[in-house]
Amino acid sequence: MVIFATVPTFCTIRTDGQTTAFVKPSFSSHPSRSRSASANQHSDTELIQKYLSTRESAYFQVLYQRYSGKVYSKCISLLKDEVLAKDAAQEIFTKIFLNLAKFGERSKFSTWVYSITYNYCIDYLRKRKKETKLFSSEADDAPDVVEEVPDTALLEMEVKRLKVVLEKIPEGDKAVLLMKYQDDLSIKEIAQSLDKTESAIKMKIKRAKHKAQTVYRTIFTD
């Protein structure tokens, strides 16, 4: 007869006839792992509430595993450097962890996470390049002279070409286009995230679309 008994935290004792042996713990026998497995079934909001009530890091770890790939790929896309992207991902998740209690469920958790990600990356680029024109109010206040580009012109662009176009336009323009068309953030959410007015963001998107189409025409229709 084989008897399995779980001893607090780390080891399992197996008594097999005359022999008793300490067995290396399996993943499922580890309390935090098993909690993590059951936590996987919860929604983001439930996980946050459970974390806040229990302070059990396994719940936060599940949130991390859900979003780390998305956040990391966005960081690489905007920062264009793997080392910087790693540091950025760590900083972003630390910020998320420290502000979990402040997440008011006014928006989806994913929207909140992406807002923090874009905000961090844009701030970083602004500081590094000292590029005041990344989101300058001067450009926002300029008269509207650009033609309106239909959404379909960008949405139906071939993926490889879109990738090239996004690499050629300024990071600020790329970020607003990704926020709107990739992550479905509303104008209001983008404005809050970048600390700008809604009309300034509308103008920014309009100009970004125009720049993207101009780059596309320059590269691919010549």
By the criterion CB under 8 A, which residues form the site for other proteins?
A: 55, 57, 60-61, 64-65, 68-74, 76-77, 86, 89-90, 93-94, 97-98, 152, 154-159, 162-163, 166, 177-178, 181-183
CB neighbours of residue 125 within 10 Å: 20
Comparing CB distances to other proteins, the nearer of 40 and 90 is: 90
Quote the least distance from Cβ 86 to other proteins, whole Å: 5
Choice between 156 and 195, CB closer to other proteins: 156
In the complex, the smallest distance separating the C-beta of residue 114 from other proteins, rounded to whole angstroms, is: 11
Minimum distance of other proteins from residue 25's CB (angstroms) = 18
CB 31 within 8 A of CB 37: no
Kindly tell me which of 26 and 65 has the beta carbon lying closer to other proteins.
65
**What is the β-pairing status of strands 12-16 and 19-23?**
antiparallel
Q: How far is the CB of 214 from other proteins (least distance, A)?
A: 17
